[in-house]
C-alpha cells in the first residue's frame, strides 16, 4: 500500500485522511517540521524534517585540528559543552592522550559538562515542555504574595500576552491553584538554570561556549575558593531539583497519566555512558563512567556497547545514493532533488535496528547494568506512581527519566568537587600529530554523541558527527523503519486536528535539538493540495 | 492594594518585538537567558525600564504557540505596528537554493525561508538588532566554503534596498549585557547616532576598546612573559590569543555574573565578536604574526 502522503499529494482526497503540518515546531532547539497523516482520528504516517543546513562537516575540513574543538561547540548553544567534551575526547584519542588526562582535568571536565546537564534539563522541562501542560493564564486571578507571580499577573493585566499566547487549547487539567504554583516554578526555574550556567563558568570560563575544555584536559585550575563557590551554586540548584523539579514531574504524571501510554518508542535504547570516573582505560566504550555504556534491546536485553554496529542509511535523506555505511566511510554529497528523500538527517541505526537515545536510554541502560543509585531512584518513582516499568517507554517516561537524571548528576557533582586536588596538573602536554585518527563518544543531555576525526598533514582531513537528535529525529531507513520520534507518533489518537497537542507533547518529550542534527529540506514550493495547517 | 501598587508604578508603553532565528545554534538566546540584572524575567514580563515594556511576541524557543498560528503572529505584528516594532535576528541568512537551506515556518501553505521572512519583516521594523556574530557578520555559519551561502543580515538588507536602522551586537555568543544594554539604549535614547556605533555598527559602549588594552595579563605582555603551556600564568599571546585584535569589554565586564572570562580562565581569546571571526582569525591556537602587533611593541626573545 503506497504512502498516504504520496496518495494525498496526487490529489486523491478520497483517502479520507487529513494532513497536519506543524511548522515551526517551537519550544525545541532549532528548526523542525512535523507532517502527519491522520485517518479516523489516528496518526497513520509521520515525517519529521529538519529545515536548516549549515554544513559543519564540510567547513571543518582543512582547518587546524584543535580549532574543531572550539568550532564544534557552535553546533548548538544549548548543549555546546557536550560537543566540547566529545571533541576533546576525539582529539585526545587522535593525539595519543586518551589515558593521559590528569585526574583534575578529568574531574573538571565532568563538572563543566555536569553543570550543563542541569541547565539543559531544567530549561527543557520548564521553558520548553511545561506550557503544554500548565495553563499560565490562571495567574491572571492570582491573589497571593509571591512576587514572581505578582509580576506575571501585572504583565497579563496589561493585555499583551505574547509569547504566552497563541497556543493550542483543549487539554489543561490542573486546577487554578496548581497552575499558578507551577507558573511560579517556571519563573524560579529561570533562576535555577542561570545558576547552573554560573556554576559551569567557574571552571568553564564563560557559558554558552566554554573556553576551557581542551585536548589534554582543561585550562582552568581548581582552587579552594572556586570549589566552594561552585558547591553553593550547585546546592541551590539541587534544592530546586528536590523541592520543585522532581515533585512537579510527579504532579504532571498524576494529572496526565494517559501519557504513560502515549508516545511509546521503539523500545531499543542506546547509551555511550557519560562522566568518566576512570581516566586510565583508553577505550571510551569500556571505561567506567557515571552512567554505563550499553545497548538495551526491547527494554530487557542489555548488550555491551560495540561501536562497530553503528551505520547510517541515507535512503530517505537528501544525499546522493542509497548506501548504509559506518561513519568513518561516509561521504557527504547533497542531493536535494532526490525523489525518496524528505530530510537532511541521516538514519543512524545500531545493528541495523532503530535505537532511541537520551536520558531514558541512559537511565535504563544504567538500571539494567545494575547501578544501585539509578535502580533505587527509578524503582522509588515507579512505586510512588503505582506503575509498571514498561510505562517508562512513553512521553512521561522520558520526562521522568530526565528529571531523575538531573538529580543523579547534581548529587554526583557535589562529591566530585571534593576529589579535586588544588595544585596538581590540569592538562597533559602533547604535539599535534601529522597523521592520525580519533574517535570521541560521550553522553550529551539529549543522548549519545559521537565525533570522529582523520588528520592528514596536521590538518583536518575528515570530521564526522553523529549526534543525538540525528538518532531520534531520523527519517525512515533502507528497511523503511521509521525513526524513533516518528514511531512514537504513529498510532497516536488525535482528538482535534486543529489543536494536535498530542503530537507536540510526544515530540517535546524527546527534547529535540535540530541544530545538532544538521540538516535541511527542499520543498521547491510544490503545491500540496488540500490540507490542514495548524 | 494591587491597583494602588500598579498605579504607583505608572502607565506602561508596550514595544512589540519579534525574534527571528536563522542559521545559528541558539547560543545567543541561551546567553540572553543568563542576564543577571535585569534578569530574563524582568526582560520578558516587567517594564524593563520604567514605563517601557518590550513585548516579545515571537521567539521560536520560548513561545507557547507553534505552526501557522505562530507564523501569523509575525504577520500581524508587522501589519498592526508599521515602523513600530523591534526586529531581533539571531543566526545568519542562508541564501543557497533561493534560501531553502533555512525555512522557518509554514504560512498559507508556503514554506517561508529565513531570507524572505527577514526581508519582509525588516522593511517595516523600527530597528533591526542583530544578535550574535552570525547575524552581524556571517560568523561560523558562513565559514568557508559556506555551503549554505550564509550571509549577514546587513548584507541581505542592503541587497534588497532596505534602510531600516540596524545595530550589530556580535559575540559568539554575545554577553547578555550587550543585548539588553543595546535594547535599553534604544528605549531610553532612541536610535543610535553616528558616534554611538563603530564602523562595524557595534555600540561603542560595549565594543569600543580592545581586549588587549584592558587585560589583567597585559603587564606580562609588556614584560615579554608568555605562557608556553596550557594552564601556565603569563600572557597568552604565544598560545594564540587574539585579544590585540578584538574589541569587547570582556576583561572588565566578565561573564556569567562576573565570575570568569576566557583569558582569565587560561584560554586564549578567539576574537568571537569580530567581523573576521572565525576564518581570518584562525588557527585559534597559533599566535598572531608579529606584523599585526607592531604598534604594541611586542617583546620577542
ipTM of the complex: 0.96
Order of strands, edge to edge, in the sheet holding A310-313? A324-325, A310-313, A347-350
Look at residue B18 and give its three-state secondary structure: strand
Task: Please give the domain boundaries of chain B with CATH numbers for all domains.
Answer: 2-206 (3.40.50.700), 209-301 (4.10.480.10)
Q: A217 to each of A89, A410, A532, how far by Cα in Å?
A: 9, 22, 52
Q: Is A476 on the interface with B (CB under 8 A)?
A: no
pLDDT at position A126 over 70: yes
Residues of chain B with pLDDT > 90, as a percent, come to: 89
In the predicted model, is pLDDT for residue A13 greater than 80? no
Question: Does A518 have pLDDT greater than 90?
Answer: no
**Would you state the pLDDT for residue B6?**
54
What residue of B is the nearest CA neighbor of A427? B230
Grade residue A331 by pLDDT with cuts at 50, 70 and 90. confident
Is A67 at the interface with chain B, CB within 8 A? yes
What's A374-399 look like in SS3? HHHHHHHHHHHHCCCHHHHCCHHHHH
Residue A102 near residue A426 (C-beta atoms within 8 A) = yes
CA distances from A366 to A14, A265, A358, A372, A450 (A): 49, 19, 12, 9, 19
Is A228 within 8 Å of chain B by CB?
Answer: no
Residue A530: is its pLDDT beyond 80? Answer: no
Give me A27's grid cell. Answer: 519550544
B98 CB within 8 Å of a chain A CB:
no
Q: What is the mean pLDDT of chain A?
A: 92
Q: Percentage of residues in chain A with pLDDT exceeding 90?
A: 85
Which set of grid coordinates corresponds to residue B301? Answer: 626573545
- Residue B2 has a pLDDT of 55
Query: At CA A270, angle to CA A268 and CA A275, rounded to 5?
Result: 150
d(C-alpha A410, C-alpha A118), whole Å: 7
Choice among A386-390, B4-8, B114-118, B162-166 with the minimum mean pLDDT: B4-8
Instruction: Give the catalytic positions of B in this structure.
Output: 25, 28, 134, 172, 212, 215, 235, 241, 250, 262, 269, 272
- Distance separating alpha carbons of residues A452 and A437, to the nearest angstrom: 8
User: Taking a C-beta distance cutoff of 8 angstroms, is the pair A411, A48 a contact?
Assistant: no
Measure CA B301 to chain center.
39
- Top residue of A63, A104, A148, A162 to mutate, by most chain B CBs within 10 Å, is A162
Q: How confident is the model over A232-290, as pLDDT tens digits?
A: 999 999 999 999 999 999 999 999 999 999 999 999 999 999 999 999 999 999 999 99
Q: Which chain A residue lies closest to B3 (C-alpha atoms)?
A: A154
Pull the grid cell for residue A272: 555511550
Report how many Cβ contacts below 8 Å link chain A to chain B: 296
What is the tens place of the pLDDT at every residue in A42-73?
999 999 998 888 999 999 999 999 999 999 99
Task: Supply the pLDDT for residue B5.
Answer: 53
CA distance B52 to B185: 12
- How many angstroms separate the CA atoms of A233 and A487, rounded? 40
d(CA A179, CA A269): 34
H/E stretch holding A373: helix A372-385
pTM (predicted TM-score): 0.95
DSSP symbols for B170-201: --SS--HHHHHHHHHHHHHH-S--TTTB-TTS
Three cell numbers written together for A525: 514550493
What's A4-157+174-533's CATH class? mainly alpha
Please state the rounded mean pLDDT for residues A307-331.
Answer: 90
Using the beta-carbon criterion (under 8 Å), do A534 and B67 form an inter-chain contact? yes
Amino acid at each position: 500500500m503506497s504512502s498516504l502522503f504520496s496518495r494525498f499529494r496526487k490529489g486523491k482526497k478520497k483517502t479520507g485522511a487529513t494532513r497536519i503540518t506543524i511548522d515551526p515546531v517551537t519550544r525545541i532547539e532549532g528548526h523542525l517540521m512535523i507532517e502527519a497523516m491522520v485517518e479516523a482520528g489516528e496518526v497513520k504516517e509521520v515525517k519529521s524534517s529538519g529545515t536548516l543546513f549549515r554544513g559543519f562537516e564540510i567547513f571543518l575540513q582543512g582547518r587546524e585540528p584543535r580549532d574543531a574543538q572550539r568550532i564544534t561547540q557552535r553546533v548548538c548553544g544549548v548543549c555546546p559543552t557536550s560537543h566540547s567534551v566529545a571533541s576533546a575526547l576525539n582529539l585526545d584519542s587522535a593525539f595519543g592522550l586518551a589515558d593521559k588526562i590528569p585526574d583534575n582535568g578529568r574531574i573538571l571536565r565532568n563538572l563543566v559538562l555536569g553543570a550543563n546537564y542541569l541547565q539543559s534539563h531544567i530549561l527543557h522541562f520548564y521553558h520548553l515542555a511545561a506550557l503544554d501542560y500548565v495553563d499560565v493564564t490562571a495567574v491572571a486571578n492570582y491573589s497571593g504574595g509571591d512576587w514572581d507571580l505578582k509580576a506575571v499577573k501585572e504583565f497579563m493585566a496589561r493585555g499583551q500576552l505574547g509569547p504566552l499566547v497563541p497556543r493550542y487549547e483543549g487539554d489543561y487539567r490542573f486546577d487554578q491553584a496548581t497552575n499558578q504554583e507551577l507558573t511560579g516554578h517556571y519563573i524560579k526555574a529561570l533562576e535555577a538554570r542561570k545558576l547552573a550556567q554560573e556554576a559551569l563558568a567557574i571552571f568553564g570560563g564563560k557559558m554558552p561556549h566554554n573556553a576551557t575544555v581542551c585536548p589534554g584536559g582543561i585550562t582552568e585550575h581548581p582552587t579552594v575558593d572556586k570549589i566552594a563557590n561552585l558547591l553553593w551554586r550547585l546546592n541551590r540548584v539541587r534544592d530546586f531539583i528536590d523541592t520543585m523539579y522532581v515533585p512537579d514531574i510527579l504532579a504532571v504524571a498524576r494529572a496526565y497519566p494517559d501519557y504513560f501510554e502515549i508516545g511509546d518508542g521503539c523500545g531499543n535504547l542506546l547509551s555511550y555512558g557519560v562522566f568518566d570516573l576512570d581516566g586510565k582505560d583508553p577505550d571510551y566504550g569500556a571505561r567506567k563512567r557515571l552512567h554505563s555504556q550499553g545497548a538495551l534491546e526491547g527494554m530487557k536485553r542489555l548488550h555491551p556497547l560495540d561501536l562497530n554496529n553503528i551505520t547510517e542509511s541515507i535512503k530517505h535523506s537528501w544525499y546522493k545514493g542509497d548506501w548504509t555505511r559506518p561513519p568513518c566511510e561516509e561521504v557527504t554529497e547533497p542531493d536535494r532533488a532526490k525523489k525518496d528523500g524528505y530530510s537532511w538527517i541521516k538514519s543512524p541505526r545500531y545493528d541495523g535496528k532503530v535505537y532511541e537515545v537520551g536520558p531514558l536510554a541512559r537511565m535504563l541502560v544504567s538500571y539494567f547494568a545494575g547501578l544501585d543509585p539509578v535502580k533505587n531512584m527509578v524503582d522509588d518513582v515507579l512505586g510512588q506512581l503505582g506503575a509498571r516499568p514498561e510505562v517508562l517507554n512513553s512521553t512521561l517516561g522520558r520526562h521522568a527519566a530526565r528529571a531523575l537524571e538531573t538529580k543523579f548528576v547534581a548529587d554526583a557533582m557535589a562529591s566530585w568537587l571534593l576529589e579535586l586536588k588544588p595544585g596538581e596538573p590540569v592538562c597533559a602536554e602533547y604535539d599535534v600529530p601529522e597523521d592520525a585518527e580519533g574517535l570521541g563518544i560521550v553522553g550529551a543531555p539529549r543522548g549519545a554523541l559521537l565525533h570522529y576525526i582523520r588528520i592528514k598533514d596536521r590538518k583536518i582531513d575528515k570530521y564526522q558527527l553523529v549526534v543525538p537528535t540525528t538518532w531520534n529525529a531520523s527519517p525512515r531507513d533502507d528497511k523503511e523503519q521509521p525513526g524513533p520520534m516518528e514511531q512514537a507518533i504513529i498510532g497516536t489518537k488525535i482528538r482535534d486536528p486543529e489543536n494536535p497537542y498530542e503530537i507536540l507533547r510526544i515530540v517535546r518529550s524527546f527534547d529535540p535539538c535540530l541544530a545538532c542534527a544538521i540538516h535541511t529540506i527542499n520543498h521547491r514550493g510544490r503545491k500540496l493540495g488540500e490540507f490542514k495547517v495548524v | 492594594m494591587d491597583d494602588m501598587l500598579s498605579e504607583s508604578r505608572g502607565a506602561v508603553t508596550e514595544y512589540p518585538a519579534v525574534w527571528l532565528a536563522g542559521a545559528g545554534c541558539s547560543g545567543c538566546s541561551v546567553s540572553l537567558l543568563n542576564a543577571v540584572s535585569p534578569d530574563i524575567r524582568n526582560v520578558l514580563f516587567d517594564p524593563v525600564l520604567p514605563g517601557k515594556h518590550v513585548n516579545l511576541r515571537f521567539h521560536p524557543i520560548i513561545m507557547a504557540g507553534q505552526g501557522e498560528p505562530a507564523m501569523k503572529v509575525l504577520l500581524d505584528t508587522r501589519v498592526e505596528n508599521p515602523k513600530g516594532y523591534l526586529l531581533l535576528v539571531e543566526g545568519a541568512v542562508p541564501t543557497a537554493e533561493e534560501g531553502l537551506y533555512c525555512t522557518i515556518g509554514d504560512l498559507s501553505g508556503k514554506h517561508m525561508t529565513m531570507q524572505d521572512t527577514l526581508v519582509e519583516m525588516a522593511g517595516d521594523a523600527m530597528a533591526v538588532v542583530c544578535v550574535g556574530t552570525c547575524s552581524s557578520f556571517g560568523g561560523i555559519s558562513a565559514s568557508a566554503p559556506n555551503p549554505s551561502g550564509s550571509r549577514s543580515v546587513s548584507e541581505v538588507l542592503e541587497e534588497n534596498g532596505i534602510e531600516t536602522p540596524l545595530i550589530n551586537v556580535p559575540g559568539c555568543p554575545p554577553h547578555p549585557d550587550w543585548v539588553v544594554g543595546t535594547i535599553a539604549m534604544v528605549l531610553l535614547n532612541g536610535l543610535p547616532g553616528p558616534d554611538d556605533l563603530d564602523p562595524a555598527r557595534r555600540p561603542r559602549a560595549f565594543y569600543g576598546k580592545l581586549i588587549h588594552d584592558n587585560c589583567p595579563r597585559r603587564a606580562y605582555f609588556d614584560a615579554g612573559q608568555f605562557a608556553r603551556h596550557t594552564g601556565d600564568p603569563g600572557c597568552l599571546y604565544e598560545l594564540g590569543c587574539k585579544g590585540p585584535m578584538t574589541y569587547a569589554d570582556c576583561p572588565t565586564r566578565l561573564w556569567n555574573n562576573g565570575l570568569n572570562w576566557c583569558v582569565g580562565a587560561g584560554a586564549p581569546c578567539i576574537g568571537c565578536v569580530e567581523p573576521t571571526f572565525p576564518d581570518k582569525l584562525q588557527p585559534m591556537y597559533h599566535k598572531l604574526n608579529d606584523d599585526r602587533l607592531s604598534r604594541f611593541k611586542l617583546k620577542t626573545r
